[in-house]
Structure 1
């Protein structure tokens, strides 16, 4: 259990997240993920990183139960950890391909929204249930996946979009049956990693340099409103309903 790194082929590093039962990451998990992605990107033999997950879904956001148990300190840690993990994906020295299956919620959107490419299984769904979990954030990253008005509607309603719908908007490279997801992600990573290692790193830096949105600053701005919601008490009220029969769902879903 945790975050592991493997090298299935020359030039490709696979960072895999495994936090049962639903990949709702604890504070330490976000920092472990950030370290693993940055480490893979710094390896001169790596030309592409694949970000994958084991279990029922790709990512269910932060571990709300940890925040409920540990209070403000865990909330601050989760926010800092998410920011570092999202930034690690975006700032990775080589392209990052996200291989998404099942649910991709909350912090999961922050990861895939900052990835360079997304390959998804046909059962994958993407969404931000933040308003239902007493939090705000990752609209920065959802806006990189869908058009502005759809982003707003999804954010306000906490609804999800399917992998097929995201592919129609051009943000998902390929949608495949779940059993074919690892091979499809490796296929794209292999094509990227086959490029000249020096040029692919320059290309990543160049593309980030012309990005119209400073994703780190934008997400940090959003986080300020999460803290405001906590100071006001509304966040605690919503988190206290988490896990009750009428609201029971995944264990996470915030970023």
Structure 2
């Protein structure tokens, strides 16, 4: 359980997240993920990183049980900062990052895949931001990298999810495959990327990030401020109370105490 790194082929590192039962990450999990991605990208032998997850789904956000048992705002601040670090690690990774997504990809998962360079998904994968249903805000920055502006707004306001096939039609998911072929497909794409010169790949990643029309770090940090405001004002608690008792342990990115975010 936790975050691990493996190397199935020369030039490829797979960073795998495994936090049963639903990959809802505690604060330290987000930081561990950031550290692992940074380390993989900094390894001169690595030319592409695959970001993967074990279990039923790719990511269900933060661990709300940790939020509920932690007094004050420490868990909220830790999760906000941890998510920021993990999302930034994917975006700033020195080499391209391929996200391999199965099952649910919610909240914080959107932050990760939205900052990846390429996405391969299983045919049962779904993507969404249930933040408004959980008294939170955040990761619209990253959802906007997956779908057109008006689709993003509608998904955000309604808390609906979209399928991998729908994102494939929008052009953000590179390939949709049966779940049992997901790892092979992601590694195959990573292998095609890793076949390029490592120094040139690093220059290409820096160049592409440099021409990005949106500063994802500043944009996401701006969103997080509104999540904290919702928490301090009591709005978040009121919305969570109307939602009722959740059955999972998390679904989100910028979090407030006790929410599935």
Q: Give the aligned partner of residue 69 of structure 1.
A: 69
State the partner residue of 1:227.
228
Separation in structure 2 between the aligned mates of residue 63 and residue 191 of structure 1, nearest angstrom: 35
Whole-angstrom distance in 2 between the partners of 1:147 and 1:132: 22
Q: Give me the whole-angstrom Cα distance separating, in 2, the residues matched to 1:112 and 1:151.
A: 15
Instruction: Tell me the residue number matched to 2:31.
Output: 31
Q: 1:131 aligns to what?
A: 132
Give the CA deviation at 1:212. Answer: 0.3
1:17-47 deviation digits (Å, cap 9, x = unpaired): 0000000000000000000000000000000
Partner of 2:217 in structure 1?
A: 216
Q: In the aligned structure 2, how far is the partner of 1:199 from the partner of 1:30?
A: 29
1:55 equivalenced with 2:55 (yes/no):
yes
Structure 1's unaligned 5+ residue stretches are none
8 A Cα contact 1:26 1:78, kept in partner: yes
Rounded to whole Å, the distance in 1 between the matches of 2:242 and 2:67 is: 13
Distance, in Å, in 2 between the alignment partners of 1:56 and 1:207 is 33
Could you tell me how far 1:242 is from its partner in structure 2?
Answer: 6.2
Counterpart Cα distance in 1 of 2:226 and 2:208: 29
Matching residue of 1:180: 181
Question: Using the alignment, how far apart are the partners of 1:241 and 1:40 within structure 2?
Answer: 42
SS of corresponding position for 2:28? helix
**What's the offset of the Cα at 1:241?**
5.6
Q: Deviations over 1:143-184 (max 9, x none)?
A: 000000000010001000000000000000000000000000
Q: Is the 8 A contact 1:15 1:37 kept in 2?
A: yes
CA-CA distance at 1:250 after TM superposition: 3.0
How many angstroms apart in 1 are the aligned matches of 2:97 and 2:224? Answer: 24
CA RMSD in angstroms comes to: 1.0
CA distances 1:196-244 after superposition (whole Å, capped 9, x unpaired): 0110000000000000000000000000000110111111233456662
Aligned length: 252
Superposed structure 1 runs of 4+ greater than 4 Å apart: 240-243
2:152 corresponds to: 151
Q: Using structure 2 for the length normalisation, give the TM-score.
A: 0.95
Deviation at 1:65, TM superposition (A): 1.6
Per the alignment, do residues 112 and 214 of structure 1 end up closer, same or farther by CA in structure 2, a change over 3 Å counting? same
Give the aligned partner of residue 15 of structure 1: 15
